[in-house]
Amino acid sequence: MKSALYLYNTISRKKELFEPVSPPFAGMYVCGPTVYSETHLGHARPFITFDILYRYLMHLGYKVRYVRNITDVGHLENESDDTGEDRIARKARQLNLEPMEVVQKYMNSFHRAMGRLNILEPSIEPRATGHIIEQQNMIDALLRKGYAYESNGSVYFDVEKYSKAYPYGILSGRVLEEMQANSRVLEGQDEKRGQFDFALWKKASPAHIMRWSSPWSEGFPGWHLECSVMSTKYLGEVFDIHGGGMDLIFPHHECEIAQSTAVKGHSPVRYWVHNNMITINGQKMARSLGNFITLDELFTGSHKMLLQAYSPMTIRFFILQAQYRSTLDFSNEALLAASLGLQKLMVAARTLEGLKPSDCSTIDVSGIEEKCYEALSDDLNTPVAIAHLFDVVRIINLVNDGKEKLSSDDIKSLQQLFKTFVYDILGLVQEEGGGSEKLSGVLSILLELRQEAKARKEWSVSDRIRDRLSALGITVKDRKDGYDWEISS
């Protein structure tokens, strides 16, 4: 058996042994995007982090149901005052589109970016607008239990009442009294009894397009409700893992716990897993701060802060080189380093495929696999796993240079190791240089001619071919027994 998995549980603030409710099944819910604008680098982190967790759980033999939602209604611009407008509705008005056109546009773009990052599709990708009835049912249950109240067509969750029966703030470590003592009372919240009450149902203003009929008003559901409803609908009343960014701990996940506990008497989630933020100049990358770079901009290099384009696998590798609970600072230098490191790893992976076996090994390769499992099982320590893989890279290169030897069996086990960790679990793929088949055909004609010129010591001819290709951004690499080329950006 592979080593047991330990995950850091936000609610206990400890690493805990992962034991699913009903093995071999494992359920995981991750908060997906609100589809009202382009996906940026910060968004890539949770989806890559939980992609690794998804892949690793499957690799360990679990039958995983991975649910990742799409928020397509209910997420307000600003929940703290009554001018708060639904993000999607607002974007639709700005672009003069139907709200569902906005949703489709950004959902498509999100899926494209996820695909390029080689993020596996979740088992279920439910949408908030597809679960209005279920959300209304939950509101109804909360009203009957007395933890919600109607006010002017809207329905709110009664935090104060809830906190008398259950501990409110157990996930984020907050105490309601302290929050009340430490914050000002905001204007324009007449509808709510308590300032920390949150909306379950909002009455739509006459201009609001996204609206559904309900016993309380024509309106739309509150943001926190959809995750409670959709997670338990597809994963059960108690499920294993709930993931998302650390910035969602409060209020979003805290409210999820309150809602579900108020109805069922217990929280549905066993392991809360949160990834840290990607920072830029030491500050969180966020739309509201205007310091974000979209994934498309990274892939094409079309952002003024970028010195060059960075491939999807570079982004993936960059993120995996940090443990998911640490902040990760963006810079061109760091991305360039990731890009070169990844290249080294992937070139070695290709070298490994054609490595020549010897009768016996002069290097001990046993134990590396176990170290990789240990790293990943220790709360997904991908940087340590990658460090072990670079040890293998050094071995591959030494053997390839004839300085060390490996037996056929050892080469096979290293190939299996790379397949498991590099490709299957870390989800890295070989990226082509961007050249078409025709281009590589033309290049091989040119470079063969150059080899012949070199053989005749006609250096002016060989150098001219090399320099002219270089001017076009194609780097010629002379090898011991041939040549290779690469298109640089």
List binders of RNA among 201-220 (CB under 7 A): none
Q: Which residue, 236 or 383, has its beta carbon nearer to RNA?
A: 383
Place of tokens 């037996």: 407
Other Cβ atoms closer than 10 A to 471: 8
Q: Using CB under 7 A, which of the segments 134-142, 196-204, 260-268, 414-422 binds RNA?
A: 196-204
Rule CB under 7 A: is residue 366 a binding residue for RNA?
Answer: no
- Rule CB under 7 A: choose which of 242, 373, 381, 425 binds RNA: 381
- Rule CB under 7 A: choose which of 246, 306, 309, 487 binds RNA: 246
Q: Which residue, 232 or 323, has its beta carbon nearer to RNA?
A: 323
Binders in 312-331 for RNA, by CB under 7 A: 321-323, 326-329, 331
Q: Rounded to whole angstroms, how far apart are CA atoms 223 and 72?
A: 10
> Tokens standing for 387?
């460090």
Q: Using CB under 7 A, which of the segments 99-107, 131-139, 243-251, 295-303 binds RNA?
A: 243-251
- Rule CB under 7 A: choose which of 403, 412, 419, 468 binds RNA: 403
Task: Residue count of the chain, please give it.
Answer: 489
Amino acid identity of residue 217, one-letter, is S
Residue 339 CB, shortest distance to RNA, in Å, is 8
Give me the torsion for CA of 458, 459, 461, 463, rounded to 10°: 160
Question: Among residues 228, 210, 202, 248, which one has the least CA distance to residue 73?
Answer: 210
Residue 296 CB, shortest distance to RNA, in Å, is 15
Residue 406 CB, shortest distance to RNA, in Å, is 14
Give the DSSP H or E segment for 296. Answer: helix 295-300
Q: Rounded to whole angstroms, how far apart are CA atoms 191 and 345?
A: 58
Residue 278 sits at the vertex; the CA angle it makes with 489 and 382, to the nearest 5 degrees, is 85
Binders in 444-483 for RNA, by CB under 7 A: 454, 459, 462-463, 466, 475-480
- Rule CB under 7 A: choose which of 3, 118, 151, 397 binds RNA: 397
Q: What is the Cα Rg of the chain in Å?
A: 27
Rule CB under 7 A: is residue 132 a binding residue for RNA?
Answer: no
Residue 460 CB, shortest distance to RNA, in Å, is 8
Q: Rounded to whole angstroms, how far apart are CA atoms 230 and 129?
A: 11
Q: Using CB under 7 A, which of the segments 115-123, 195-203, 231-239, 414-422 binds RNA?
A: 195-203
Question: Among residues 203, 201, 69, which one has the least CA distance to residue 139?
Answer: 201
Q: Using CB under 7 A, which of the segments 97-105, 138-146, 390-398, 421-429 binds RNA?
A: 390-398
Q: Using CB under 7 A, which of the segments 1-9, 142-150, 389-397, 420-428 binds RNA?
A: 389-397
Residue 411 CB, shortest distance to RNA, in Å, is 16
Place of tokens 């890559």: 48
Strand blocks (E) in 354-444? none
Binders in 13-32 for RNA, by CB under 7 A: 13, 31
Binders in 330-359 for RNA, by CB under 7 A: 331, 333-334, 336-338, 340-341, 343-344, 347-348
Q: Which residue, 77 or 101, has its beta carbon nearer to RNA?
A: 77
Q: Which residue, 97 or 286, has its beta carbon nearer to RNA?
A: 286
Q: Which residue, 118 or 451, has its beta carbon nearer to RNA?
A: 451
Q: Which DSSP state fits 246?
A: G
- Rule CB under 7 A: choose which of 153, 194, 236, 357 binds RNA: 194
Q: Which residue, 136 or 275, has its beta carbon nearer to RNA?
A: 275
Q: Using CB under 7 A, which of the segments 114-122, 172-180, 201-209, 212-220 binds RNA?
A: 172-180
Q: What is the sign, positive or negative, of the torsion defined by CA atoms of 280, 282, 286, 289? A: negative
Q: Which residue, 93 or 325, has its beta carbon nearer to RNA?
A: 325
Label residue 380 exposed, middle or buried (CB < 10 Å: 0-12, 13-18, 19+).
Answer: buried
Give the DSSP H or E segment for 384. Answer: helix 382-400
Rule CB under 7 A: is residue 431 a binding residue for RNA?
Answer: no
Give strand pairing partners of 27: 65
How many residues touch RNA under the rule CB under 7 A: the total is 94
Other Cβ atoms closer than 10 A to 420: 15
Residue 22 CB, shortest distance to RNA, in Å, is 27
Question: Among residues 41, 133, 91, 21, which one has the least CA distance to residue 331?
Answer: 41
> Would strands 278-280 and 328-330 be described as parallel, antiparallel, or unpaired?
parallel
Binders in 37-96 for RNA, by CB under 7 A: 42-43, 45-46, 75-80, 84
Rule CB under 7 A: is residue 247 a binding residue for RNA?
Answer: yes
How many contiguous H segments (helices) and E segments (strands) does the chain have? Answer: 16, 15
List the alpha helices (DSSP H) in 60-150.
87-95, 99-116, 132-145
Q: Rounded to whole angstroms, how far apart are CA atoms 407 and 414?
A: 11
Residue 24 CB, shortest distance to RNA, in Å, is 28
* Upstream peptide bond of 357 is cis (omega within 30 degrees of 0): no
Q: Using CB under 7 A, which of the segments 134-142, 265-273, 275-283, 306-314 binds RNA?
A: 275-283
Q: Which residue, 100 or 286, has its beta carbon nearer to RNA?
A: 286
Q: Using CB under 7 A, which of the segments 98-106, 246-254, 357-365, 438-446 binds RNA?
A: 246-254
